[in-house]
Structures are given as C-alpha cells and as structure tokens.
C-alpha cells in the first residue's frame, strides 16, 4: 500500500548541464522505501548514488538539475517545491548523514548548541526543553558524558564521536527518512560496526526509514531489507537482501560479489571488476555494462535492456538473465 511507503521515487532522472553536454547521472530510477525499512543502494564510484540522495534532499547545485520523474515523501511531492519549503522538510521530515561529518558541522559552534538550534527551528520548543532533548538524544546514540560533549566543539571529538553526533543531529526532529551516504567509510572497522548497528536499531525503534548508500557490499548485507544495484546512472538489479545475496542474476552484481572476497583480504580496496565505468557523456550504444561484461553477446552491444521482473520483487536489467524481449 502506498500509505506504507515513506519514500516513493518514480522515473527519476537528474544530471548536469555542462559545456560538453548533458551528463545523465541518474537515469529513470524507480525506488521505494516502506516505513521502518532500510534500503540500500550499491555500486561503484560515479554510478549516481549520491546524486539520488541529493535529488531527494533538494540539494542539487548548479549545473545539476532534476530533469524528470517524481519524488514523494510520505505522499507529498517534493520535486518542484520552492527552496523555502524544502528547507523546512529537511531536518524535520528527512535528514542526511554524510561520509565526512566535519563538512556538515559548524566548526565554531559547540555541537550541543547546533543540535538545539535544529529543535528551536523546527519544533518551536523553549531553550531549556530543547537542551534536555539534545542531552537525551546524545545519550541515546551512545555518547557518554553528554553534558560534557554538549559543550564540545566538533574538532574536539574523535571521528566516531562526530559521526554519532551527526546521527543524533539528524535524528533530533524524528525524521521519517534518514539518508546515510557512505556514513562509515571514513571510520575504522570497529567503529563502523557500532555506527551501523546504531542506525539499524534507531530505525527499528522509531519506524524511521533509511536509505543507505555504500560501495561496500558487506555493509549493505549487514543492514538492508532491500537492495538496489546501480550502474552508470541506472538500476541494474533490485531485490530483497536475501535474494540479492543468494540468487543475484546480473553479471555486474556478480562482479561486485566476487570483489567482496578481495575486500575481505583488504577492506579498503576497490571492487575488482575488470575495466572502468563508462564516461556518462559517451555511453555505449547498448547495455552500459557490456564492455566489461564476461557474458556480453552481440545484441548487448547494440540494444539497451529494460528492467525485467524475474520473480516477484526481483528485477534485473540483462538480456541474458532477464530473457527480455
Ligand atoms: N558538477 C558536475 N558536473 C558534471 N558531472 C558531475 C558533476 N558532479 C558529479 N558529476 C558526475 O555525476 C555522476 C554521479 O556522481 P555521484 O556523486 O552521484 O556518484 P556516486 O555513485 O555517489 O560515487 P561515489 O561512490 O564516488 O560517491 C558521476 O559520474 C560524476 O562524474
Ligand atoms: Mg557518492
């Protein structure tokens, strides 16, 4: 039922109008997140993951623009809303956690005060009540000595603590949707696991939906109810997490999975699929993955495959696997 969907993205396209032409960073993406679920987007660098996040948040900067489709948050259309309304929705109804918290924290304001400001802005609380609420939230995300941290400046905190503060700040107005874009890439593995567990449990407790973006399949496997695999701006496979990990069909997904074996040996290494992602300005005529695909046939190089539903809820964009027309 649509009422149960926190986020409903349909046929979203967004890209950049550059001097050399239009760069189609997100091409006809449809994605939904039911209430309280964690949905993942995975794919190599440059495939358009962050562009989806920025499109939803209304944070695309010139020359980037949404060129088509619809984004609904709890039934409300977001595309085309004026900036003033998007600012109110951001923070109150949806919030985002970035890879590097330093870029989104104000370096000259104590972190507690920054969180309190968000409450004062969105919730119309008085200052004392807001401070109490902030302390409660800091504690909730596992920050010890919240009084002391409240007064700390961002640079006085470790990377892991800063990321917890960011999550606390994102959560403070109890958003319906949290977008986490590579939230743990800059952290060491132990802290990463703690932060991911925290996001998962906050989502379970509060019914908040999460869009989790990562190039790390291990992270996605640990966290997600459903997964979308992206390549060159398009969804190439989508399924519930179990199906995606146990019964994926797209050769690109398989390539990513094989690279996990390498990732175990060296967690920070990039996926080991041969070749490079195509230049979005000069996409191949057929399937964008065909130049790197071990299974590519003649047809794959000339015709573009559509997403085809293989089993209920399991979609794949591949002539070979999808038996597409
Ligand atoms: N200002 C810009 N002008 C033109 N193209 C851009 C611009 N900014 C980003 N792009 C292109 O948009 C595409 C999508 O970028 P995006 O940041 O969404 O990738 P991503 O999947 O988040 O990658 P990563 O894993 O590295 O974060 C990339 O191919 C990138 O080259
Ligand atoms: Mg990104």
Poorest-confidence range of 92-96, 258-262, 279-283, 296-300? 258-262
Q: Determine if ligand 1 sits within 6 Å of the CB of residue 18.
A: yes
Residue having the nearest C-alpha atom to atom 30 of ligand 1:
46
Check pLDDT > 50 for residue 231.
Answer: yes
Helix (H, G, I), strand (E, B) or coil at 19: coil
What pLDDT shows up at residue 277?
A: 85
Q: What is the pLDDT of residue 324?
A: 45
pLDDT-based confidence at 121, cuts 50/70/90? confident
State residue 138's pLDDT score: 94
The more confidently predicted of residues 104 and 101 is 104
Give nearest CA residue, ligand 1 atom 6: 16
3-state secondary structure string across 115-164: HHHHHHHHHCCCHHHHHHHHHHHHHHCCCCCHHHHHCCCHHHCCHHHHHH
Residue 217 Cβ < 6 Å to ligand 1: no
In the chain, domain spans = 2-93+175-322
Euclidean distance between CA atoms 33 and 40, whole angstroms: 10
CATH of domain 2-93+175-322: 3.40.50.300
Q: Above pLDDT 90, what percent of the chain?
A: 70
- pLDDT at position 325 is 38
pLDDT at residue 48, as a whole number = 96
Helix (H) or strand (E) holding 80, with range, is: none
CA dihedral sign of residues 10, 250, 180, 55: negative
**Stretch 228-236: mean pLDDT:** 98
Query: Whole-number mean pLDDT of the chain?
Result: 90
CA-based end-to-end distance of the chain: 30
Q: Output the residue whose Cα is nearest ligand 1's atom 17.
A: 50
Q: Quick one: average pLDDT of 145-158?
A: 94
To test ligand 1's pocket by mutation, which of 27, 50, 219, 231 has the most ligand atoms within 8 angstroms of CB?
50
In this predicted structure, the answer to whether residue 1 has a pLDDT above a threshold of 70 is no
Query: In this structure, what are the phi and psi dihedrals at residue 209, rounded to the nearest 5 degrees?
Result: -90, 150
Per-residue b or e along 6-37, where b marks 16 or more CB atoms closer than 10 Å to that residue's CB: bbbbeebbbbbeeeeeebbbbbbbbbbbebbb
Quick one: pLDDT at residue 275? 81
* Mean pLDDT (whole number) for 226-231: 98
Q: What confidence score (pLDDT) does residue 218 get?
A: 86
Q: How many CB atoms lie within 10 A of CB 189?
A: 11
């Amino acid at each position: 039922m649509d009422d149960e969907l926190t986020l409903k993205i349909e046929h979203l396209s967004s890209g950049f109008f550059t001097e050399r032409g239009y760069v189609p960073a997100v091409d006809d993406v449809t994605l939904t997140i039911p209430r309280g679920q964690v949905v993942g987007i995975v794919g190599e660098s440059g495939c358009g993951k962050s562009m989806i996040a920025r499109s939803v948040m209304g944070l695309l900067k010139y020359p980037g623009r949404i060129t088509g489709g619809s984004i609904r948050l709890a039934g409300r259309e977001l595309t085309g809303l004026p900036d003033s309304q998007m600012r109110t929705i951001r923070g109150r109804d949806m919030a985002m956690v970035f890879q590097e918290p330093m870029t989104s924290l104000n370096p000259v304001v104590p972190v507690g005060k920054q969180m309190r400001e968000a409450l004062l802005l969105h919730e119309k609380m008085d200052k004392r009540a807001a401070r109490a609420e902030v302390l409660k939230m800091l504690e909730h995300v596992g920050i010890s000595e919240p009084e002391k941290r409240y007064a700390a400046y961002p640079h006085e905190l470790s990377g892991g603590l800063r990321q917890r503060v960011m999550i606390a700040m994102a959560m403070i107005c109890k958003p319906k949707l949290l977008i986490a874009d590579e939230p743990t890439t800059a952290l060491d593995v132990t802290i990463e696991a703690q932060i991911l567990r925290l996001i998962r449990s906050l989502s379970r407790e509060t019914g908040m939906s999460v869009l989790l973006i990562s190039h790390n399949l291990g992270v996605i496997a640990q966290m997600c109810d459903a997964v979308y695999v992206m390549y060159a701006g398009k969804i190439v496979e989508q399924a519930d997490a179990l199906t995606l990990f146990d019964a994926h069909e797209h050769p690109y997904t398989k390539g990513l999975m094989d690279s996990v074996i390498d990732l175990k040996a060296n967690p920070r290494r990039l996926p080991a699929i041969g070749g490079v992602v195509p230049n979005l300005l000069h996409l191949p005529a057929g399937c964008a993955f065909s130049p790197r695909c071990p299974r590519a046939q003649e047809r794959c190089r000339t015709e573009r495959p559509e997403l085809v539903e293989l089993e209920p809820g399991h979609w794949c964009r591949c002539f070979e696997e999808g038996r597409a027309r």
